[in-house]
Amino acid sequence: METFSGPLRRGMARCCSVATLRSRLPVLTWLPAYSLNWLKMDVLAGLTVGMTTIPQALAYAEVAGYGLYSSFIGGFIYCVFGTSKDITLGPTAIMSLLCFSYIRGDPVYAVLLALLCGIIQLAMALLRLGFLLDFISYPVIKGFTCAAAVTIGFGQIKNILGVKDIPQQFFLQVYYTFQKLPEARVGDVILGLLCLVFLLMMTMMKSSLDSVEDNPSPVVTASRRLVWAFATVRNALVVIAATCVAYSFKVTGHDFFTLTGKTVAGLPPFSAPPLSETTANGTRISFSEIAADLGGGLAVIPLMGVLESIAIAKAFGSKNNYRINANQELFAIVLLSLAFLMPVFSFIPKASLAAVIICAVGPMIEFSVPPQIWRVRKLDLLPFSVTFLLSFWEVQYGIVGGVVVSGFMLLYLMARPELKDSVLEVLSAADLPGFRHTDSVEAGLQILITNYN
């Protein structure tokens, strides 16, 4: 009789095997097979993606209400632990909005939220709980992303107008934004609209490149490549051009634009995360109180962070024929210019960053989703609508509400399934594998299949 030590020994052997090590460190699999012939294109891809994502990261810092000093570290960690070669790991509009709803610009809350979310994601990875992401249904995801896009996009109108003291709650934000229209700064409005027009033009020009001509001339090919390059780095071009314009006016004594403000050069010192906070009036907030304040964010943010990355990674994996390990993605997500360019960032006009954000979240508003859900399954419009509407109240309530409604719908269908019995076909006993034809076997067998609708 096998003792308990047998399975334990086999489990330890699997955990310490070379295969397990390679699954946890995918870099050990792809790096030995890496060809230097790929280096040129990888460098070009890195520069292209960097010119696209760095301006977006600066813009998302405005959404998060917190400087994204450490956002570049994820890329270095992911290249070692991640299983998708096509995605970029960094700040996103949705995660920035979610984080802002919990931290409200408080550095201690931000650091502890990141720490606790990392611990939760690590625990999920080690316990192989990646399947939990399947419980966040498609209607819930789409309802949340559409509402988040509207919330984020409208939240940047104040920066386009150059108005201040706008509340963060969506409905109050709408009211006060329209109320303060007479206070709009002409310089911010003109610069913001110009940036928006340029970004939209570049986006449309890039989309038009999909129509490929037969046997194009070298001039046409070179022109298309030039347009593609400019359109790809359009965010960086907008931010750089707007910064130069703002700096030119600033040094001549003209204050036409609302700027990002003073930024300190270099990175903050590395240190252990604070486990408590002392307010300005001397009140001490303990770790347990901070964790209680973060509340549902400790469940929502880890799941949404992983879900965003895995959804994109699986899409690329399916297209390019490679496998994505959801549990390993959890593990990866857990785990230089800043030193010199931070003073320059203080001259970036907020209107230009607002234009970048609006153009980034615009495609997330998909008007085709509700009709699509209606055609597939009408009842799924309920979690979509609940998530969409509650997200305007508080974004975290939208996700939780949608998941709860989806869960109740699933439990109801399991408790009261609609059964339909249908006879599919009558088979001869000789057609069934594993049956011997004898006189005791009837000539025909009726196969009854129960379908759950």
10-residue block means of pLDDT along the chain (453 residues)? 54 61 69 76 71 69 66 67 64 74 76 81 76 76 84 86 83 88 88 91 82 70 82 83 86 79 62 73 79 79 72 55 55 48 64 84 85 88 90 81 86 72 47 48 42 42
Nearest to 355 by CA among 241, 199, 185: 199
pLDDT of residue 418: 64
What is the C-alpha to C-alpha distance for residues 453 and 451, in angstroms, rounded to an integer?
A: 6
Reading phi first (left if > 0) and then psi (alpha if -120 to 50, else beta), residue 395 is in alpha
- Whole-model pTM: value is 0.68
pLDDT number for residue 432: 47
| Cβ neighbours of residue 385 closer than 8 Å, sequence gap 6 or more | 143
DSSP three-state, residue 408 = helix
Question: In 3-state terms, what secondary structure has residue 448?
Answer: strand
For 346-380, give one letter per residue: b (16+ CB within 10 A) or e: bbbbbbbbbbbbbbbbeebeeeebbeebeeeeeeb
pLDDT of residue 448: 39
User: How much is the pLDDT for 194?
Assistant: 92
- Where b means 16+ CB within 10 Å and e means fewer, 288-312 reads eebeebbeebbbbbbbbbbbbbbeb
Q: Tell me if 265 sits within 8 A of 342, measured CB to CB.
A: yes
Report the C-alpha gap between 93 and 64 in whole angstroms. 8
Q: Phi then psi for 14, rounded to 5 degrees?
A: -65, -40
Helices (H), 31-179: 39-64, 73-81, 93-103, 107-126, 138-155, 157-161, 170-179
Give bridge partners of residue 428 from the DSSP assignment.
444
Question: Within a 10 A sphere around the Cβ of 222, how many other Cβ atoms?
Answer: 11
Tokens of 148: 């988040």
